[in-house]
Amino acid sequence: PLCGLSLDRPRLMGILNVTPDSFSDGGDHATREAAVAQAHALVAQGAEILDIGGESTRPGATEVPVAQEIARVVPVVAALRAEGLRVPLSIDTRKSAVARAALAEGADMINDVSALSFDPELAGVVAEAGVPLCLMHARGTPADMQRAPRYDDVVAQVQDALSARIEAAVSMGIARERLLVDPGIGFGKDLQHNLALLRGLPLFHGLGLPLLLGVSRKRFIGTLSGAEAPKGRMPGSVAVALLAAQQGVHVLRVHDVEETRQALSLLRAVMGWDE
């Protein structure tokens, strides 16, 4: 189980960016009040986990100071727990101090886009708390990751890199059964790399861990569909989410929860997954 949720069917992780500059919804929920309201809206739409982030990791983004990231994220976590919201809360952060502060207010897991390579102290915080951790593959930093990324075999190389990070996490005291992996679509990958990873999703089950995928509203969807504005990429995002669900992805990280939930309900019925 992940935060008490069985993984016998795809679970929906709603994205809650408490940032002024995220690529799709930067500024929409930058205040505590707006973020709390959006959290309740996402849960009402069917989100089973919320992923709260206070630092944009879009291509070209710069690092946010720790104190500022804490000031964005932690009051939202505290407010949601004070209101009695029981949905698991994931914290999208690379930083140990942010993770520690959010976990102290009732957060349930950590989603690290750097797979423990940014802040070496994050592993100790996660290990001590005994919470789940998602290790995502990225090449470079958000500031430079999209500058002509190159691979000989992107699927094999991402698999190998994630395998190495899994072993590093375990060596730092994190129980293997607490780990998830994410191939990191769009993080140091071009269009063809992203497509190859999506075709190769079943191979990542060889790592023996739950698989999380975040493709919602990303640039490659706009490139392929002609939807220039990120908020106009919902149909393409749902299409990729359904593809991922058919390939056994356990957690779908999405902006458009209601639309994805409805599409998944039809997929389950047609495929007979609930029988």
Long-range pairs of 262-270 with CB within 8 A, sequence gap ≥ 24: 263/238, 264/10, 264/12, 267/242, 268/9
> Shortest CA distance to 243 belongs to which of 263, 220, 223, 222?
263
Q: What torsion do the CA atoms of 162, 153, 214, 90 make, to the nearest 10 degrees?
A: 10
Residues acting as catalytic residues: 218, 253
In angstroms, how far is CA 80 from the centroid of its own chain? Answer: 20
Of 221, 192, 220, 207, the residue nearest 162 (C-alpha): 207
- Those residues whose C-beta lies under 8 Å from the C-beta of residue 161, and which sit 6 or more positions away, are 115, 137
Q: 5: left (phi > 0), else alpha (psi -120 to 50), else beta?
A: beta
Q: How far apart are CA 257 and CA 27, in angstroms?
A: 19
Instruction: For the sheet with 179-182, list strands across it.
Output: 179-182, 133-136, 109-112, 89-92, 49-53, 11-17, 251-254, 212-214
Please name every residue paired with 112 in a beta bridge, in sequence order, or none if there are none.
135
Nearest Cα to Cα of residue 198 among 244, 234, 144, 239: 244
Residue 239: HSE in the Cβ half-sphere, 13 Å Cα cutoff: 11
